[in-house]
């Protein structure tokens, strides 16, 4: 059994096993539907998803959708965070709105970082997002603690969660403080927040994440469903609408709305459900969603998610800002980053002779991952490096030198753009 949670630094080695155990879907089955796929998609770095089809449908049909991520301000933004930022930017360039939050309430509850300190650290994440190419239009930056509608929504969501549910999802022990427990509900509020009426109402949302964030996704999908007043089930040639919270007047009102939308549809009220024939399921779901919203409900879509592989830390394990020396910060001195790469753990053998004879192991190499994930876009070049490493024709020193130089150039360029972004940040926050 694989154990994952949002606050550990454990590395996942078997992603296929993780897909099976946690009921994820494989992203490669959807690749032919992607517009201009990112290298993360093409290279299998993004490997899994939950319900991503609705995002691809929104892109294809030019309908409103949101890509969202929250960043816990526990240290400097690093290359692991860049993976999420790149995906937010990709979605924006493919028609999505982007919501980016600083999870300062989670930082306080889970890591004992004060709200004031979390907000200050959080600015650095926003600066890197802008520097990487996120546009001001169709983007919304905020701090959890300063969004009072978000806090109200989170409190409302908390009525649908008990300690037993949190323990089953996160594996909390008796020592966890209430702030840590409640921060998980705020995370759910964060993810559902863009569906509030003030932003335009219900719409599909995708959260790009590492697999360690899946507990948050499972909780929020459950809560999104719990907040709905009706659910639709298929039963042979009939659609059954079951009521969760609605009274008799609302059920009758929904029946009339369904009949009004299509004269060929039939609808009958039974003791425990409303039976509909002659209607398309997706059309019916949208009628119900609109009905709920007009009656003061939320009509939430269940959020979608995608999952990317963890970057390896330079010392092994998962790249994490909580593990000193494991990561390369986006604010790090380029010369310091070069030195880290030159000292990084590789997939090389114990001697040059052995490597020439048996070949290297790029899949176990943090330096190759830097090239594969971030530094080399050209497919022919990255494949040549992989092949020559496995054949023993390319030694670790050559990869380290190339990665160090490319990383240095990237950081110099990125940090120049961060400086320019400081002049724009207030506009994004407004």
Q: What is the mean pLDDT of residues 386-415?
A: 95
Per-residue pLDDT at 2: 53
Compare 345 and 87 and report the one with higher pLDDT. 87
> Based on the number of CB atoms within 10 Å of its own CB, is 235 exposed (0-12), middle (13-18) or buried (19 or more)?
exposed
Residue 316 is classified by DSSP as B
Q: Look up the CATH architecture of domain 334-429.
A: Orthogonal Bundle (1.10)
Per-residue pLDDT tens digits for 291-314:
999 999 999 999 999 999 988 888
Residue 374 is classified by DSSP as I
Q: How far apart are CA 79 and CA 86, in angstroms?
A: 10
Question: Do residues 366 and 327 lie in contact, with contact meaning Cβ atoms separated by under 8 Å?
Answer: no
For tokens 């008799």, the residue is 248
Per-residue pLDDT at 277: 92
Domain parsing of the chain, residue ranges: 15-227+301-308, 230-294, 334-429
Q: Look up the CATH architecture of domain 15-227+301-308.
A: 3-Layer(aba) Sandwich (3.40)
Per-residue pLDDT at 246: 79
> Based on the number of CB atoms within 10 Å of its own CB, is 231 exposed (0-12), middle (13-18) or buried (19 or more)?
middle
- Phi and psi torsions of 142, nearest 5°: -160, 165
Per-residue pLDDT at 13: 63
Nearest residue to 359 via CA among 371, 370, 346, 369: 346
What is the separation of C-alpha 268 from the centre of its chain, rounded to a whole number of angstroms? 41
Nearest residue to 157 via CA among 184, 194, 195: 184
Q: How far apart are CA 114 and CA 109, in angstroms?
A: 9
When mean pLDDT is compared over 85-89, 243-247, 343-347, the highest value belongs to: 85-89
Q: Give the chain's mean pLDDT.
A: 91
Sheet arrangement for strand 25-26: 25-26, 46-50, 304-308, 205-210, 66-71, 97-102, 139-143
Q: What is the mean pLDDT of residues 137-160?
A: 96
Helix axes of 281-294 and 248-261: crossing angle, nearest 10 degrees? 130
3-state SS, residue 50: strand
Asked if residue 218 has pLDDT above 60, the reply is yes
Asked if residue 12 has pLDDT above 80, the reply is no
Per-residue pLDDT at 9: 47
- Phi and psi torsions of 166, nearest 5°: -65, -40
Asked if residue 349 has pLDDT above 90, the reply is no
- Report the 10 Å Cβ neighbour count for 324: 9
> Based on the number of CB atoms within 10 Å of its own CB, is 12 exposed (0-12), middle (13-18) or buried (19 or more)?
middle
When mean pLDDT is compared over 22-36, 190-204, 260-274, the highest value belongs to: 190-204
Per-residue pLDDT tens digits for 44-56:
999 999 999 999 9
Give the model's confidence band at 99: pLDDT under 50 very low, under 70 low, under 90 confident, else very high. Answer: very high
Q: How far apart are CA 74 and CA 327, in angstroms?
A: 13
Task: Pull the structure tokens for residue 54.
Answer: 């609705």
Asked if residue 226 has pLDDT above 90, the reply is yes
Q: What is the mean pLDDT of residues 139-167?
A: 95
Question: Do residues 241 and 254 lie in contact, with contact meaning Cβ atoms separated by under 8 Å?
Answer: yes
What does the angle CA 425 – CA 192 – CA 108 come to, to the nearest 5 degrees?
60
- Report the 10 Å Cβ neighbour count for 199: 16
Asked if residue 65 has pLDDT above 90, the reply is yes
When mean pLDDT is compared over 167-171, 242-246, 344-348, 350-354, the highest value belongs to: 167-171
pTM: predicted TM-score of the whole model, two decimal places: 0.92
Q: Look up the CATH architecture of domain 230-294.
A: 2-Layer Sandwich (3.30)
Give the model's confidence band at 212: pLDDT under 50 very low, under 70 low, under 90 confident, else very high. Answer: confident
């Amino acid at each position: 059994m694989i154990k994952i949670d949002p606050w550990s630094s454990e590395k996942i080695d078997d992603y296929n096993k993780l897909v099976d155990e946690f009921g994820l879907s494989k992203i490669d089955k959807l690749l032919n539907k992607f517009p201009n796929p990112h290298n993360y998609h093409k290279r299998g770095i993004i490997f899994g998803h939950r319900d991503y089809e609705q995002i691809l449908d929104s892109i294809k049909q030019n309908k409103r959708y949101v890509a969202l991520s929250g960043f816990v301000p526990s240290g400097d933004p690093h290359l692991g965070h860049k993976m999420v930022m790149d995906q937010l930017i990709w979605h924006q360039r493919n028609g999505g709105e982007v919501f980016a939050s600083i999870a300062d309430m989670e930082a306080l509850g889970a890591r004992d970082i004060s709200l004031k300190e979390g907000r200050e650290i959080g600015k650095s994440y926003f600066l890197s997002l802008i520097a990487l190419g996120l546009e001001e239009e169709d983007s919304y930056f905020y701090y959890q603690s300063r969004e009072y509608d978000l806090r109200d929504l989170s409190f409302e969501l908390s009525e649908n969660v008990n300690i037993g549910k949190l323990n089953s999802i996160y594996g909390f022990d008796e020592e966890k403080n209430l702030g840590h427990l409640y921060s998980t509900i705020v995370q759910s509020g964060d993810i559902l927040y863009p569906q509030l009426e003030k932003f335009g109402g219900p719409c599909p949302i995708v959260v790009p994440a590492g697999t360690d964030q899946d507990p948050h996704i499972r909780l929020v999908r459950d809560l999104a469903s719990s907040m709905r007043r009706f659910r639709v089930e298929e039963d042979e040639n009939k659609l059954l609408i079951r009521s969760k919270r609605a009274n008799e007047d609302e059920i009758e009102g929904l029946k009339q709305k369904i009949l009004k939308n299509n004269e060929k549809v039939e609808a009958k009220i039974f003791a425990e459900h409303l039976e509909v024939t002659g209607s398309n399921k997706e059309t019916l779901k949208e009628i119900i969603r609109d009905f709920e919203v007009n009656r003061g409900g939320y009509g939430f879509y269940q959020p979608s998610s995608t999952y990317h592989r963890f970057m390896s830390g330079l010392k092994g394990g998962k790249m994490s800002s909580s593990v000193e020396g494991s990561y390369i910060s986006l604010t790090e001195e380029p010369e310091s980053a070069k030195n880290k790469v030159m000292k990084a753990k590789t997939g090389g053998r114990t001697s040059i002779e052995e490597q020439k004879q048996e070949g290297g192991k790029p899949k176990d190499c943090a330096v190759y991952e830097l090239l594969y994930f971030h530094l080399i876009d050209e497919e022919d070049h990255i494949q040549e490096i992989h092949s020559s490493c496995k054949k023993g024709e390319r030694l670790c020193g050559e990869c380290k030198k190339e990665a160090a130089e490319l990383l240095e150039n990237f950081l110099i360029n990125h940090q120049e753009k961060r400086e320019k972004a400081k002049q724009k940040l207030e506009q994004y926050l407004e």
